[in-house]
Structures are given as structure tokens and as C-alpha cells.
Amino acid sequence: MLPQLRRRYFFKLLERCGVEVAQGKGSEIKLLRKSKRPFRLGNHYGSNPTIPAFLAASILKRLDITHQDWVEAIAAG
């Protein structure tokens, strides 16, 4: 199970896994990876809120980031 993570740190780890973090419409953030469907994340909770574990797991699944990719991203930091 994933712990709750600060958004900036979570995005940094996602970028190490090949995810592009881009500004979407309004306050939304788009997470893009290769040919996977984008994940749109609301950005209306302050400058660096936490990402709950269930949401982090959902993002990793949607963007097809394997457990091994995630462990390597954490180890690289």
C-alpha cells in the first residue's frame, strides 16, 4: 500500500517514471504518459497538498506504472 504523499514529491516521482505533468484547463493538472489516457487532477487545495493513498494508487494504475518502476523512482531520489 502506498503512503499519503505531498503533491510536489509525488509529481517528481511520476516524472522519473516518464510522466509529463502539464497544466490543464483552469486549475486542473494533467498527468500524461506515452499512449495512456491522461489523468486529470484538480488543483484547488493550495500549493502543496497531500495525495491520498487511494488516489495515488489509482493514478499509477491508470498510467500503467508498475510496482518495479515505482520502487526504482523512489530509489533514484
**13-65 pLDDT, tens digit each:** 999 999 999 998 888 999 999 888 999 988 766 777 889 889 999 999 999 99
* CB of 7 closer than 8 Å to CB of 21: no
pTM of the model: 0.87
Domains and CATH numbers, the chain: 5-76 (3.30.920.30)
Q: What is the pLDDT of residue 63?
A: 95
Query: CB neighbours of 42 closer than 8 A, spacing ≥ 6?
Result: 27, 28, 29
Q: What is the pLDDT of residue 21?
A: 95
Q: Report the C-alpha gap between 52 and 2 in whole angstroms.
A: 9
Q: What is the pLDDT of residue 5?
A: 87
